Amino acid sequence: MLKIDSHQHFWKFDPIRDSWIGSDMAVIQRDFMPGDLLPVLQAAGIDGCVVVQSDSSEDENDFQLANAEVHNWVKGVVGWVDLRSPNVEEKLAYYKRYPKMKGFRHVLQGEKDRAMMLSPDFKRGIALLKEYGYTYDILIYPDQLWYTRDFVAAFPEQPFVVDHIAKPHIRDRYITNEWKDAIYAVGAHPNAWCKISGMVTEADWKHWKPEHFRVYIETVVDAFGVDRIMYGSDWPVCLVAASYQQVLQIVKDYFSSFSETEQAAFFGGNAIKFYNL
């Protein structure tokens, strides 16, 4: 079974476009390309990855698909389309010519309308994804999880995956009922999956310890089960708080007591199944 990193990024750093990378994140204010990631994956024993959009544009799709075209170990792309556009179906049909385009994502966490995912025009776009065989990555903060429950319930045949365990407030060192109860509510829907990723960036960047993440991982595993969770590094964003190997080690240690079959699913099999890699 291949080992797959289900969530990482490439970019050519642009201080205007990438303004979310502030001065406190100076370590990632530079280009990160496939040539930077490959030796890291090889050192970690990871066979392939899924690259996820970090800019909401079709230029981003072209950039990531070009990277995937020349690097066979980039197994899939999660891109961006304007799901609220009247001509979204034309775009979805267009991207079917690229076998590595697996799904799409919108930066819902940044929207002023916290329930935008439930708007009629957005839902119209989501309703078309299944017909074209696309997945959808849900990027949100905890305050949007209850909307997410209704969102995934509205499309029971559509595969969804929650990115970064919905970014709970790990740096505060306590688990909120708001997040925990809502994670269980989303996980109750069999079409909803979850990436155990992005945790170190939600922790105290300088003072986190592996045990700080345990209760969050336990909750997600309990809510989604071992067949609907997947490993993601969130490289290079993770570098603000940890090395790739440190991120990987957190989950390797946690899942070390699980069966070989369960570990193989989490570290690759589930991503292969979800994204049809």
Instruction: Report the CATH number at residue 8.
Output: 3.20.20.140
CB 77 within 8 A of CB 49: no
How confident is the model over 68-80, as a mean pLDDT? Answer: 98
Write down the pLDDT at residue 174: 72
How confident is the model over 159-181, as a mean pLDDT? Answer: 91
Write down the pLDDT at residue 173: 75
Phi, psi of 29 (to 5 degrees): -85, 60
Cα–Cα distance measured from residue 55 to residue 42, given in angstroms and rounded to the nearest whole number: 27
How confident is the model over 52-72, as a mean pLDDT? Answer: 97
Compute CA distances 104 → 35, 65, 160, whole Å. 24, 13, 10
Cα–Cα distance measured from residue 195 to residue 235, given in angstroms and rounded to the nearest whole number: 13
The C-alpha angle with vertex 125 and arms to 123 and 129, in degrees rounded to 5, equals 110
Residue 71 pLDDT grade (very low, low, confident, very high; cuts 50, 70, 90): very high
* H-type alpha helices, 141-210: 145-154, 177-187
Write down the pLDDT at residue 130: 97
What lies within 8 Å, CB to CB, of 249 at 6+ separation is 210
pLDDT tens column, 141-159: 999 999 999 999 999 999 9
Beta strands per DSSP E along the chain: 4-8, 48-52, 74-79, 101-106, 135-138, 160-162, 192-196, 229-231
Write down the pLDDT at residue 276: 98
Token duo for residue 47 = 């066979």
Residue 177 pLDDT grade (very low, low, confident, very high; cuts 50, 70, 90): confident
Residue 265 pLDDT grade (very low, low, confident, very high; cuts 50, 70, 90): very high
pLDDT for residue 102 is more than 90: yes
Cα–Cα distance measured from residue 190 to residue 194, given in angstroms and rounded to the nearest whole number: 11
Cα–Cα distance measured from residue 277 to residue 268, given in angstroms and rounded to the nearest whole number: 10
pTM score of the predicted model? 0.97
The residue range of the domain holding 105 is 4-275
What lies within 8 Å, CB to CB, of 268 at 6+ separation is 1, 2, 3, 4, 47, 231
**What is the number of structural domains in the chain?**
1
110-129 burial: b if 16+ Cβ within 10 Å, else e? eeeeebbbeeeebeebbebb
Number of Cβ atoms within 10 Å of the Cβ of 82: 17
Is it true that the peptide bond before 99 is cis, omega within 30 degrees of 0? no
